[in-house]
């Protein structure tokens, strides 16, 4: 009897040892799951001096409705002359490059970097935007209901999903090929006195 018990115990120990070895071996060959790449949208607001007549203070990013990426942008006037209309532009860079450019001063030359995609909005009428006043530029309804002096509704999103999905592997939001960011800025300004201004980020 003792002999049979001993043989059974030995067989159980060998089975447990083999199971542990198999589990360790399987764990050793598992491939690490790649982290998802991200896409961010940010506004251009040079620091410490706001050297453009109007700057982007806030942006939205989302997927409601599905064709939208950025539906709302908030700008602030730094101009002594009333602003009556603006155009918004955006450029897509690698994420780390965009984070540097979004705060680069107007006299600061950043190193040359690849621009993957770009776009510009139609001219947006604001009525009259005075110095230090803010304006939401958005599709209707507002995405972010934060305080602003004015709201200008537009027919189309500032950035549509179709405009950036070429940066994905399969056209889906979770499959970006790299970490990217779009920098949105005011690229054209029409003043109440009839003058114009155009600018870009460096």
Put residue 15 in one of left, alpha, beta given phi > 0 → left and psi -120 to 50 → alpha.
alpha
Q: What is the pTM of this model?
A: 0.81
Cα→Cα distances 153→72, 119, 125, 141, 149, Å: 9, 19, 9, 8, 14
Report the alpha-carbon distance of residue 95 to residue 82 in Å, rounded: 34
- Pair 202, 108: CB distance under 8 Å: yes
Please state, as a whole number, how many other Cβ atoms lie within 10 Å of the Cβ of residue 46: 20
Q: How far apart are CA 142 and CA 124, in angstroms?
A: 16
Q: pLDDT 10s per residue in the chain (202 long)?
A: 444 444 444 444 443 343 333 333 333 344 445 568 999 999 999 888 888 999 999 999 988 888 899 999 999 999 999 999 999 999 999 999 999 999 988 877 667 789 999 999 999 999 999 999 999 999 999 998 999 999 999 999 999 999 999 999 999 988 999 999 999 999 999 999 999 999 998 7
């Amino acid at each position: 009897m003792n002999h049979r018990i001993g043989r059974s115990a030995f067989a159980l120990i060998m089975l447990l040892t083999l199971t542990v070895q198999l589990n360790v071996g399987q764990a050793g060959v598992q491939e690490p799951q790649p982290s998802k790449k991200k896409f961010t949208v940010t506004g251009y607001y040079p620091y410490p001096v706001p050297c453009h007549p109007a700057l982007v203070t806030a942006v939205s990013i989302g997927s409601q409705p599905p064709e939208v990426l950025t539906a709302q942008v908030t700008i602030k006037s730094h101009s002594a002359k009333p602003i009556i209309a603006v155009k918004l532009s955006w450029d897509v860079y690698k994420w780390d490059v965009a984070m540097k450019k979004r705060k680069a001063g107007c006299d600061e030359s950043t190193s040359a970097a690849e621009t993957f995609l770009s776009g510009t909005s139609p001219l947006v009428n604001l009525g009259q935007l005075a110095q230090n006043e803010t304006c939401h530029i958005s599709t209707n309804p507002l995405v972010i209901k934060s305080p602003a002096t004015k709201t200008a509704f537009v027919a189309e999103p500032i950035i549509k999903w179709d405009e950036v999905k070429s940066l994905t592997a399969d056209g889906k939001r979770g499959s970006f090929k790299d970490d990217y960011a779009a920098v949105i800025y005011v690229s054209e300004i029409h003043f109440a006195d009839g003058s114009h201004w155009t600018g870009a980020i460096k």
